[in-house]
Amino acid sequence: MLSSPLQQYLNKSGYTSFHPQAVLFDMDGVLYDSMPYHVQAWSETAIHHALKHTPEDFYLFEGRTGEGTIQELFQRTFKRNATPEECEAIYKEKAERFNSYNQGATMKGAAEVLAKVKAYDLQTLVVTGSGQHSLIDKLNHDFPGYFVREKMVTAYDVKRGKPDPEPYLMGLEKAGVKANEALVVENAPMGVQAAVAAGIFTIAVNTGPLPDSVLWDAGANLLFHDMTELEMNWESIMHALLS
Ligand code: CA
């Protein structure tokens, strides 16, 4: 089952071998069950500013910077860019709504996936477009022993959001590994695109409402429907990739 995804990865990336040493985890929708609150906060903010949108848009835009999302909605609605002041005010409003709704719940199965990754002696890193200052404290509280600040990529570290490969390229740099020495776990189409553009073997976990085809089309090498399913398949993935 897994030999062909590996072969497809090697064919596409141009590498002749694959030796995983690190796993780069996206955060929202992978480690935390936070996407419904992001979507609620974006939808209400968009309604407040009469910006054309559907809830699905925010799952499709996931991984972009806040400014990228606001510009897309402004172009669509008003055929112009938002001013820096508009961007800042609207993003602040969205963030306040999100913070008031978000329960901080971890994704079911995420801790178990991390434990299995660690059992294979692979480094664990977070690569996120999120920019909360207390993120590392929260990660250390919810998933103790897996993450250190020096090896995190957040909104403060990168200029370009996903689908640009920059966040994942920086993740490789922080891990000290090459693209064919890492795996990415991602839930969003633009996140998958970013990881694939960085040349990394990418496991999609479809924890949201979009059809699987959107993640396959973005270039995912493997796809599971939740973190528990990924955890249950981890040994066979490692067996296929390490053999
Ligand atoms: Ca995500």
pLDDT at 191: 97
Return the CATH number at 45: 1.10.150.240
Q: Are residues 129 and 202 in the same domain?
A: yes
Q: Are residues 145 and 61 in the same domain?
A: no
SS3 content of the chain, % helix, strand, coil (to 5): 50, 10, 35
Domain end position, chosen among 101, 117, 141: 101
Q: Are residues 28 and 41 in the same domain?
A: no
Q: Are residues 11 and 29 in the same domain?
A: yes
**pLDDT digits 0-9 by tens, 61-102:** 998 888 899 999 999 999 999 999 999 999 999 999 999 999
pTM of the model as a whole: 0.94
Name 57's Cβ contacts closer than 8 Å, sequence gap at least 6. Answer: 73
Domain range for 138 is 3-34+105-242
What is the rounded distance in angstroms from the CA atom of residue 155 to the CA atom of residue 52?
A: 26
Confidence of residue 127 (pLDDT cuts 50, 70, 90): very high
Average pLDDT of every residue of the chain: 94
- pLDDT higher than 80, residue 134: no
Query: What is the residue whose two structure tokens read 């172009």?
Result: 75
**16 Cα: distance to centroid of ligand 1 (angstroms):** 29
Query: 243 or 147, which is more confident?
Result: 147
Confidence of residue 3 (pLDDT cuts 50, 70, 90): low
**152 Cα: distance to centroid of ligand 1 (angstroms):** 15
Q: Are residues 131 and 228 in the same domain?
A: yes
Q: How many domains does the chain have?
A: 2
pLDDT at 2: 56
pLDDT at 131: 75
**158 Cα: distance to centroid of ligand 1 (angstroms):** 16
SS3 200: coil
Q: Are residues 96 and 156 in the same domain?
A: no
What is the rounded distance in angstroms from the CA atom of residue 205 to the CA atom of residue 214?
A: 12
pLDDT at 217: 98
**pLDDT digits 0-9 by tens, 187-211:** 999 999 999 999 999 999 999 999 9
Domain end position, chosen among 101, 122, 152: 101
As given in the structure block, the two tokens for residue 135 are 């993120």
- pLDDT higher than 60, residue 1: no
**209 Cα: distance to centroid of ligand 1 (angstroms):** 13
pLDDT at 159: 85
**188 Cα: distance to centroid of ligand 1 (angstroms):** 5
Mean pLDDT of 32-39: 95
Q: Are residues 29 and 40 in the same domain?
A: no
Domain end position, chosen among 46, 80, 101: 101
Q: Using alpha carbons only, give the angle 221, 226, 232 rounded to the nearest 5 degrees.
A: 80
| Among 11-15, 134-138, 161-165, 181-185, the range of highest mean pLDDT | 181-185
**120 Cα: distance to centroid of ligand 1 (angstroms):** 24
Alpha-carbon distances, residue 224 vs 93, 194, 208, 227 (angstroms):
34, 18, 12, 8
Return the CATH number at 216: 3.40.50.1000
What is the rounded distance in angstroms from the CA atom of residue 10 to the CA atom of residue 22?
A: 17
